[in-house]
Structure 1
């Protein structure tokens, strides 16, 4: 038996977790409470929140920020997929529009210098 700890309400579902759920459901091992959790996630949007992040889709606001600083897009393209995914998730997970806008601006500004946003940097 697999044990999954309870999820926080509204926490985003990653692709590997969704694949595990599909496998459990296919094998008939998904419990009613697990099914209810998945249905809540689908209803509140947390089930699909990371889909575009995992496909490395650049959101419109970040694309516009890259358009304003052309060298940022070139540098962004050179970042490894894992770094781009982490930065995109950081942007998408912002709860307030002001926070998201600040993260988008920081991402473009740092990318222009070849630096990754939301990454540890030696000062």
Structure 2
């Protein structure tokens, strides 16, 4: 991955007056703690990349900045990332020594090849019931039936949800016909948005 430091410079420069000192401080601290970390803009905001893994990220919003560590613990688990809460001033950040310790722990976890704790705690979602009409239509089409059997649970769930959300029988029938055609072509429900 190429280092995108110029893009990160531009991101920081474009932020509100309150956010720039926070982002600049965190950025310098990350580089001091892990000198071989790279920078990249991912999902529209800066990430610090260590050995190909996201070590940390930072973002600025209208009234606060957000600093996240993908690995390690800081006691604030929110939807898979370790957030440092809403940071409005430099005083809202933990002490530099504490942040360095978190970054060092995160790098050690990456070095050891371990998955982040939040990944290990994920539980698979329950399967949605397949509408009987969809089941009948798929079974009637051998190509669709063979591909349907090989779909991962997420793709099956996407179709089950789409068909199940239909408010009328006519809408459901139209969606089922479309679903069977897409499935026979090996396409998931959201095939237009999948990486190719």
State the TM-score, normalized to the length of structure 2. 0.32
Q: Whose radius of gyration is greater, 1 or 2? A: 2
More strand by share: 2
> Which structure would you say has the larger RCO, counting Cα contacts within 8 Å and 6 or more residues apart?
1
